[in-house]
Amino acid sequence: MTGTEGPTAFRLAYVPGVTPSKWVRIWQERVPGVPLVLHPVTAAQALGVLRERGADAGFVRLPVDGDDLSAIPLYTETTVVVAPKDHVVAAVDEVSADDLADEVVLHPLDDTLGWERPPGLPALQRAATTADAVELVAAGVGLLVVPQSLARLHHRRDLTYRPLLGVPESRIALSWPRDATTEHVETFIGIVRGRTVNSSRGRPANPPAKPAAGSGRGDSGRRGSGAGKAAGGAAGKNRRTASGRPERGRRGKPRRRS
């Protein structure tokens, strides 16, 4: 999937937390002649990469600002709080924002939730990345609130996470330049939306050749069926084996002639 990009390659960007493998596999089955090149980007980079034509389409986090990009919302992620396994958070099934009022909550610079005001108490310094913030959680500095996919991406055996209620959620969308809706983009949209290969917009870019005339269920097919019946009838009249002996019945006894 990643590698040398050919002139007709389809370039797909994706932000951390998105796992595009299912859609890539379907693309490879439907459009085997066009390589799909994966282009990982940060959430902050994603829209710029599309605008600069660094990718044909991409999985991004909403919102998508401006009218130059099209976007199809796909799903909304659960927001979770990441904490050490021995923290009180680990003892409950879910947490509310009010439960974090007295906790230090880390707010990394690459945060994707668009807070008006993050819950909890602010840390003395903001971590540069979510990965750095996860390390600080493991060190006991504070807790971290992220979309569930990022908690899974940065999973550690000494940490856990629980759903957090009453806070913003992150939505994933497929986006592409509005003035560059190519045939390949349309094909990928069909794949992501679950269209079948035979739907109007889900057809492969290189469909198989149609069978030659007369090879299907036309007149010649019906004649062929009749010829088979004739051959079967002729075979049925000749009940003798190659040795000249009569064919044996179901119980192994030779059939008597009438």
Give me the CATH number covering residue 42: 3.40.190.10
Could you say which of 115, 148, 165 is where a domain stops? 165
Write out the H or E segment, with its range, that includes residue 52.
none
Residues 86 and 117 in one domain: yes
Residues 24 and 127 in one domain: no
Single-letter code of the amino acid located at 184: H
pLDDT of residue 195: 87
Residues 99 and 154 in one domain: yes
Rounded Cα–Cα distance for residues 46 and 67 (Å): 16
Is residue 83 within 8 Å of 167, Cβ to Cβ? Answer: no
pLDDT of residue 63: 94
Residues 55 and 161 in one domain: no
Residues 216-238, mean pLDDT to the nearest whole number: 43
Is 224 inside a domain boundary?
no
Average pLDDT, the chain: 82
Residue 188 has pLDDT above 60, yes or no: yes
Is 95 inside a domain boundary?
yes
Residue 102 has pLDDT above 70, yes or no: yes
Residues 172-178, mean pLDDT to the nearest whole number: 98
Is 147 inside a domain boundary?
yes
Packing angle between helix 183-192 and helix 21-30, nearest 10 degrees? 120
pLDDT for 126-160, tens place per residue? 999 999 999 999 999 999 999 999 999 999 999 99
Is 204 inside a domain boundary?
no
Q: Measured in Å, how far apart are the chain's first and last C-alpha atoms? A: 71
**pLDDT interval class at 8 (50, 70, 90):** confident
Residues 26-50, mean pLDDT to the nearest whole number: 96
The total number of structural domains that make up the chain: 2
What is the span of the domain harbouring residue 52? 10-76+171-192
Nearest to 151 by CA among 51, 1, 17: 17
Residues 37 and 105 in one domain: no
Is 127 inside a domain boundary?
yes
Residues 17 and 145 in one domain: no
175 contacts: CB under 8 Å, gap ≥ 6 = 46, 47, 50, 57, 58, 59, 60, 64, 69, 70, 71, 72
